[in-house]
Structure 1
């Protein structure tokens, strides 16, 4: 454990009162002990409760009471989008606190805080991928240390913030968000970002197996590439392998198709889940990108978010994320769909239990972390 970690990575223009210090960071709890505890808790759940525990939902409001009522359906997580961010830091902390229904088992609270192009927190003035891709690796470490501090201070436990995609094509929609333009430079910065964030929050690598090779924007289509598995291993896989080895807690699967590997989007592909587990050795939580994006593709096969969620979990996903088009009823509908799939035999009960156990383990790990926030006037900002 690293205690008293000073996160003094603010830009030179920031005041020292913008700098914070972490007292205690994420606890080095025995992985086997946490997993055993998670498995025991999951074994006592009904099928519907297990299903609810692997859903990360969203509704666009800053009404803390409405958010608390929404979370009473027992879902395992919530993602904060721009419409959830109130005017002040105190209001944000009150809002994230309201997401907890059972203080003994808080949900996962997530955010897309990449910095720069994708940034939900206005106080994040730290360097982002647009500059970091051409700056020293140490700058990426400093920036993501500070970014993780802001996220954790807000009561958020998961950052979907590390873009491991690579591309040298400046016209690609992912170019401005990628941390590198080639496998090696991207991998170095992904490792720095992962190790910095994992000190205080659960970090996420995205968008597996990599947007760079597949032209198009997955918010409105299914980007497709003919890149072979061997070509992928030598290029687009490199930052993901490095990030997994660096200890990333989550791996987000993209809605993109490598047709030589599987014609289905990776998020719904059993083959890509197998590759992540067996080749990369990833044993953390696999999360889908927003399932609403599949609907937005306009492809009839992906028009039903409930069916998409079931397909993703059958393929090997642990946590299903739903944002675009989500209403207060959507998460419950997904829970019902997952439960019905188990009852019908199309979703094996042990697959659901496995997913619920991984998500539960991450929740236990996140709640075991203790953080003591204080202004750090003696810390000197780094320019």
Structure 2
């Protein structure tokens, strides 16, 4: 992680204001949260020493660091069971699926509250609230992506601003809701979930969706590097394309680039193979992580799509969830997600596997530390917001 990145994040944590994030006002006025300490680091302090996230991670045990980069899931609406699940390993996050959603918003608020063991280091609670075909909240009647494909980008901004409000009101700070894939093929399983049928149209609406969510939830772009060019459903296979990298840059990359430039905090990697770049799925590819960092300028948290989907592909080398998680972290992911087939034992087994990989040298400890620090930055920013507007962690502090 660069010193510039850490300095920028410190600024976000020290001043959650409109000055930092220009347009980072929530669509609805949230309950104002207390500002962070106004104390500034001394001129002689190093960025590393001044970085609160790095300091927290430095004080953690190896197992605590390993747990902090795992986003788990169990299918229940029992707050006590969820609390016990999160207490057992202090996981870095939890993904809410349909099986976690009770009948009303008030019950969901109680459920999400049970997931936070330590308010000073709240987990990243996430949800796939795209609207339309993928909607976990039954009370979301805002326009769906397929309804926005031909609408003005302002309509997408308004829809995602409203959607972000529903998500945050439920106590959920992360939305895995912005599909940056692009396809004009109505037969594609992703078609109705996209925000545009051409790269330029999708890019305009993806950027608008990020603007709509800003300050209310942390935005996620998915499924990098893009389902549209790779036919097939990654829930049951490894969609593959031979598209060259230069063609990708001029087409499918555009919505992702637009969302990154607009300040999305998370980038979700799909289990998609662009064989001209790397025969491995992008979620396990160091090259695709390098491309996002070095060529698209993404400096936020990289998260895998559900690793259980890799197992469901039937490809023998992806049959072990622990191996998949370690490989994903080594490739450059900061947060590994386990949902399909996940039980109360799945995430702890992955945590154990990460610890063993570091101890054996299979996974570099500094790679784990970098991942844990990036995730902790969002967690501390969330704690610092105290229910108010979330800081725009990717905004230019001088902008």
| Fold in common (TM above 0.5) | yes
Q: Displacement of 1:371 after TM fit?
A: 3.8
- Matches of 1:6 and 1:321 in 2, distance apart? 27
TM-score, length basis structure 1:
0.90
Q: Displacement of 1:26 after TM fit?
A: 11
- Matches of 1:246 and 1:238 in 2, distance apart? 12
Instruction: Tell me whether 1:50 sits opposite 2:58 in the alignment.
Output: no
Q: Report 1:101-112 matches (<5 A).
A: 101-112=117-128
Indicate conservation of the 8 Å contact 2:306/2:339, yes or no.
yes
Indicate conservation of the 8 Å contact 1:219/1:297, yes or no.
yes
Indicate conservation of the 8 Å contact 1:166/1:183, yes or no.
yes
Q: Displacement of 1:303 after TM fit?
A: 0.4
Instruction: Tell me whether 1:278 sits opposite 2:294 in the alignment.
Output: yes
Instruction: Tell me whether 1:62 sits opposite 2:77 in the alignment.
Output: yes
Of residues 366, 371, 377, the one that matches 1:350 is 366
Q: Displacement of 1:22 after TM fit?
A: 2.9
Q: Please report the RMSD computed on the Cα atoms of aligned residues, expressed in angstroms.
A: 2.1
Indicate conservation of the 8 Å contact 2:26/2:161, yes or no.
no
- Which residue of structure 1 lines up, in the alignment, with residue 394 of structure 2? none
- Which residue of structure 2 lines up, in the alignment, with residue 39 of structure 1? 54
Cα separation, partners in 2 of 1:329 and 1:6, compared to 1, 3 Å: closer
Q: Displacement of 1:102 after TM fit?
A: 1.2
- Which residue of structure 2 lines up, in the alignment, with residue 265 of structure 1? 281
Q: Displacement of 1:21 after TM fit?
A: 4.0
Indicate conservation of the 8 Å contact 1:287/1:319, yes or no.
yes
Q: For 1:203, what is the secondary structure of its paired residue?
A: strand
- Matches of 1:179 and 1:352 in 2, distance apart? 34
Instruction: Give the count of matched residue pairs.
Output: 360
* CA deviation string 1:133-177 (max 9, x = no partner): 111111000000000000000000100000000000000000000
- Matches of 1:108 and 1:215 in 2, distance apart? 31
Of residues 272, 283, 303, the one that matches 1:256 is 272
TM-score, length basis structure 2:
0.87
- Matches of 1:52 and 1:247 in 2, distance apart? 27
Indicate conservation of the 8 Å contact 1:291/1:320, yes or no.
yes
Q: Report 1:326-345 matches (<5 A).
A: 326-345=342-361
* CA deviation string 1:335-358 (max 9, x = no partner): 000000000001000000000000
Cα separation, partners in 2 of 1:272 and 1:28, compared to 1, 3 Å: farther
* CA deviation string 1:298-353 (max 9, x = no partner): 01100001000000000000000000000000000000000000000010000000
Q: Displacement of 1:24 after TM fit?
A: 4.2
Instruction: Tell me whether 1:74 sits opposite 2:82 in the alignment.
Output: no
* CA deviation string 1:103-138 (max 9, x = no partner): 221111000000000000011110111110111111
Q: Report 1:311-330 matches (<5 A).
A: 311-330=327-346
Instruction: Tell me whether 1:227 sits opposite 2:243 in the alignment.
Output: yes
The gaps in structure 1 that reach 5 residues or longer are 8-19, 374-383
Cα separation, partners in 2 of 1:79 and 1:347, compared to 1, 3 Å: same
- Which residue of structure 2 lines up, in the alignment, with residue 361 of structure 1? 377
Indicate conservation of the 8 Å contact 1:187/1:240, yes or no.
yes
Indicate conservation of the 8 Å contact 2:26/2:213, yes or no.
no
Q: For 2:91, what is the secondary structure of its paired residue?
A: coil
- Matches of 2:321 and 2:388 in 1, distance apart? 40
Q: Displacement of 1:370 after TM fit?
A: 3.9
Instruction: Tell me whether 1:244 sits opposite 2:260 in the alignment.
Output: yes
